[in-house]
């Protein structure tokens, strides 16, 4: 298949240039003059932009072990539809990748089914139970780092030992920060909706207290450290201060924390995640952290579940929402078009910064029509998970094409086949 894509703004390391591209048999050719224009069907849009493929450093692909929620095939297809050409997969699987033998099960499925790059994380502790360290040395050559995502490592000395081993192997600790001692009695969410409905929430202290603990251990051990799904303003302040002191620290937040606050909550499972959506003050602190570089990257924490696991309201549903197919349109609409953050900051947080931190090569491109308005309908997702807090939202930015290497990972056939002239 060959076609001419006209009037594209190409976002490349050297800057932005506008022109035409030829798409030919899975490749983008930047010299359309080499092709007789009259012989090529044309694809045009309202506002076409070609970006380097996005990288998501926090994705739950659910396979092996939970393929009724998501598979590597369905998850990577959803990622490609969202413009992603690389993802880092979380280790809460069965078997847990706490040894090379257990990791091999996942690696084989990735090799067999992934349509984009998938880089796994190894577990910090055996079975993610927080009692003894996983086989760091055996896993290190095959993983981007180590995480017990979904569970905070409660034992201070065990986390210190993990950091020392990670540093010796030049790997990064990717931390889900949650102090379980602060969850025992439950906390009432501070938002207006939650107050009226008596919803028991997860306090911000459970996040930032463990961030505070870990940063002290990072200073002691000198390891590389990355904080998952930051949601609280206190965490942003702690990380900003740690960076100012020269610690090797990065962090991520998610689209739902940047664009929603707890006044928007509804008693529906699609609003249930951990950490929870917090106050407007927390949201504003995260946006400011993104603008000033404290928040390095944006990751979806894509966490699909079956319908019956997410239809029990906020109290009864499992934690986790999906986000691969909506991340860029939501962020572009809510942050860039409103002037809260520039497009360059958003792109850096979804490409350059995650790639640099986790040593992921930039291998692909994604084509978006930023002038195209669409409505988010979860029932149309390629992901098996449908629980999205953005259901029904009108957004700008439609993905038309994602190329990984020279392979078409996703194509909107309506734009390319139905839109030919």
Please give the biggest Cα pair distance in the chain: 71
Pairing between β-strand 2-12 and β-strand 48-52 as defined by DSSP bridges: parallel
Detail the DSSP E strand segments found in 53-169.
54-59, 84-89, 117-120, 145-146
Strand partners, 9: 18, 49
Catalytic residue among 179, 301, 369, 412: 301
How many of the other CB atoms lie within 10 Å of CB of 118? 22
C-alpha separations of 285 from 119, 234, 240, 313 in Å: 30, 9, 11, 28
301 noted as active-site residue: yes
Detail the DSSP E strand segments found in 203-351.
224-227, 249-253, 297-298
What's CA 231's distance to the chain center, in Å? 14
- Would you call 292 exposed, middle or buried from its count of C-beta atoms within 10 A (0-12, 13-18, 19+)? exposed
With beta carbons less than 8 A apart as the criterion, state whether 249 and 243 touch.
yes
- Beta-carbon-side half-sphere exposure of residue 383 (alpha carbons within 13 Å): 29
With beta carbons less than 8 A apart as the criterion, state whether 376 and 395 touch.
yes
Enclosing H/E stretch for 68 = none
Enclosing H/E stretch for 385 = none
- Which positions are catalytic? 301
């Amino acid at each position: 298949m060959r076609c001419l894509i006209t009037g594209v703004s190409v976002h490349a390391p050297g800057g932005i240039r506008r022109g035409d591209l030829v798409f030919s048999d899975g490749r983008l050719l930047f010299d359309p003059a080499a092709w007789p224009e009259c012989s090529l069907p044309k694809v045009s849009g309202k506002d076409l932009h070609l970006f380097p493929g996005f990288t998501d450093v926090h994705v739950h692909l659910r396979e092996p072990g939970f393929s009724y929620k998501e598979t590597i095939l369905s998850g990577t297809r959803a990622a490609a539809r969202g413009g992603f050409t690389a993802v880092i997969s979380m280790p809460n699987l069965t078997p847990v990748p706490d040894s090379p033998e257990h990791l091999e099960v996942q690696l084989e499925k990735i090799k067999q089914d992934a349509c984009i790059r998938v880089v796994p994380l190894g577990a910090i502790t055996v079975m993610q139970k927080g009692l003894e360290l996983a086989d760091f040395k055996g896993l290190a050559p095959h993983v981007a780092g180590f995480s017990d995502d979904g569970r905070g490592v409660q034992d201070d000395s065990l986390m210190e030992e993990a950091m020392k081993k990670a540093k010796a192997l030049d790997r990064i600790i990717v931390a889900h920060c949650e102090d379980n001692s602060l969850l025992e009695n439950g906390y009432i969410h501070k938002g207006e909706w939650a107050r009226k409905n008596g919803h028991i929430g997860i306090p911000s202290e459970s996040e930032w207290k463990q961030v505070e603990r870990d940063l002290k251990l990072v200073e002691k051990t000198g390891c590389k450290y990355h904080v998952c799904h930051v949601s609280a303003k206190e965490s942003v302040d702690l990380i900003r201060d740690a960076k100012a002191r020269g610690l090797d620290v990065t962090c991520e937040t998610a689209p739902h924390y940047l664009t929603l606050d707890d006044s928007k909550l509804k008693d529906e499972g699609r609003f249930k995640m951990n950490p929870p959506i917090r106050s407007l003050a927390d949201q504003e602190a995260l946006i400011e952290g993104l603008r000033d570089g404290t928040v390095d990257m944006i990751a979806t924490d894509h966490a699909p579940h079956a319908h019956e696991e997410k239809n029990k309201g906020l109290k009864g549903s499992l934690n986790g929402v999906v986000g691969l197919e909506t991340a860029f349109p939501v962020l572009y609409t809510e942050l860039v078009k409103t002037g809260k953050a520039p497009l360059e900051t958003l792109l850096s947080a979804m490409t350059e910064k995650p790639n640099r931190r986790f040593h992921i090569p930039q291998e692909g491109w994604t084509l978006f029509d930023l002038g195209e308005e669409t409505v988010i309908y979860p029932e149309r997702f390629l992901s098996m998970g449908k629980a999205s807090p953005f259901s029904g939202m009108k957004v700008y930015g439609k993905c038309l094409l994602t190329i990984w290497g020279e392979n078409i990972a996703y194509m909107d056939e309506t734009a390319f086949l139905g839109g030919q002239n």
